[in-house]
Amino acid sequence: MEPLELPVKILGVDLETFAAVDRFIGETIVGEDEALRGAVEVAEAAGLPSIQVSPPQGKLLQLLVRLLGARKILEFGTLGGYSSILMARALPEDGRLITLEAKAEYAEVARRSIERAGVADKVEVRVGPALEALPGLEEAGPFDLVFIDADKVNTPNYFAWALDHTRPGGLIVADNVVRGGTLGDATDPDEATKAQRRLHETLAGEGLVSATTIQTVGGKGYDGFLLALVQDA
Ligand code: SAH
Ligand code: DHB
Ligand code: MG
């Protein structure tokens, strides 16, 4: 996505207001410790883009891990390991998370932060384009939770694979499906947006999942999460 130009206003509210609300939520009910702040600082210092989930979104992922009683998680898109650390911390002692990252230098930054956060024994970072990693993951599943947050044009491809490798009662979450509201525009030419529209249209005829998309605003602007519960056939 292009960097947001300030002031971004949505319904007359600017991005700084969304960021302030995110900060307040973060400082009150979410809680973000040294290791998590450290992961963001280290990633920024290493030149990684600051596009990790916000602390409130990360806490939602943690609540979902706990609600699912998840023991096996697959993540597409590691970046600096922020969401990996959050989800790993919500896992039980014997829980495992595999996270896929295309860029070796990002994966290296993530591994160090994951180690520093004390969850290295639960998390495996695999380097390479996610589509190429999938054949090697046949034995690793079925997963309780799949979090899709990598290259957005491939979200439908990752989702299709996830559907075959998530247990009934498991959940597939995809970030960045609303894309500043372009999701609602059938004429939008952006390939990433077209991919999210196609995913929604495909799910309309898919009896295997019960799904919804929640639009979000926050310090990162206007976007949204798709949540899909995998049902018995
Ligand atoms: N989940 C992370 C943010 C991920 S940002 C968090 O919330 O902390 C998206 C990441 O996907 C980037 O690190 C990018 O390098 C990675 N990515 C892009 N294309 C990819 C691909 N084909 N396979 C795997 N990862 C990819
Ligand atoms: C981008 C990626 C993300 O996963 C996100 O949440 C925001 C932005 C990006 O590639 O620009
Ligand atoms: Mg994202």
Going by alpha carbons, the residue nearest to atom 4 of ligand 2 is 149
Q: With pLDDT > 70 as the criterion, what percentage of the chain qualifies?
A: 96
Look at residue 1 and tell me whether its pLDDT is greater than 60: no
To the question of pTM greater than 0.75 for the whole model, the response is yes
Ligand nearest to the CA of residue 77, numbered in listed order: 1
Residue type, 54: S
Query: In a 10 Å sphere around its CB, with 0-12 CB exposed, 13-18 middle and 19+ buried, how is residue 157 labelled?
Result: middle
Per residue in 83-115, pLDDT tens? 999 999 999 999 999 999 999 999 999 999 999
77 near 101, Cβ under 8 Å? yes
Report the pocket of ligand 1 as residue ranges, CB < 6 Å: 51-53, 77-79, 82-83, 100-103, 106, 129-130, 149-151
State the pLDDT at residue 217: 94
Atom in ligand 1 nearest the alpha carbon of residue 80: 8
Q: Which residue has the higher pLDDT, 33 or 209?
A: 209
Per residue in 9-59, pLDDT tens? 767 778 899 999 999 999 999 987 888 999 999 999 999 999 999 999 999
Determine if ligand 2 sits within 6 Å of the CB of residue 166. Answer: no
Q: How far is the CA of 11 from the centre of ligand 1 (A)?
A: 30
Per residue in 146-161, pLDDT tens? 999 999 999 999 999 9
With cut-offs at 50, 70 and 90, classify the pLDDT of residue 7.
low
Going by alpha carbons, the residue nearest to atom 3 of ligand 2 is 51
Most distant CA pair in the chain, distance: 50
State the pLDDT at residue 80: 98
With cut-offs at 50, 70 and 90, classify the pLDDT of residue 195.
very high
State the pLDDT at residue 13: 78
With cut-offs at 50, 70 and 90, classify the pLDDT of residue 136.
very high
State the pLDDT at residue 156: 98
With cut-offs at 50, 70 and 90, classify the pLDDT of residue 219.
confident
State the pLDDT at residue 32: 79
State the pLDDT at residue 6: 58
Determine if ligand 2 sits within 6 Å of the CB of residue 32. Answer: no
CA angle 134, 204, 77 (to 5 degrees): 30
State how far the alpha carbon of 191 is from the alpha carbons of 5, 204, 220, in Å. Answer: 21, 20, 21
Mean pLDDT for the stretch of residues 125-139: 97
Mean pLDDT, the chain, rounded, equals 95
Mean pLDDT for the stretch of residues 120-144: 97
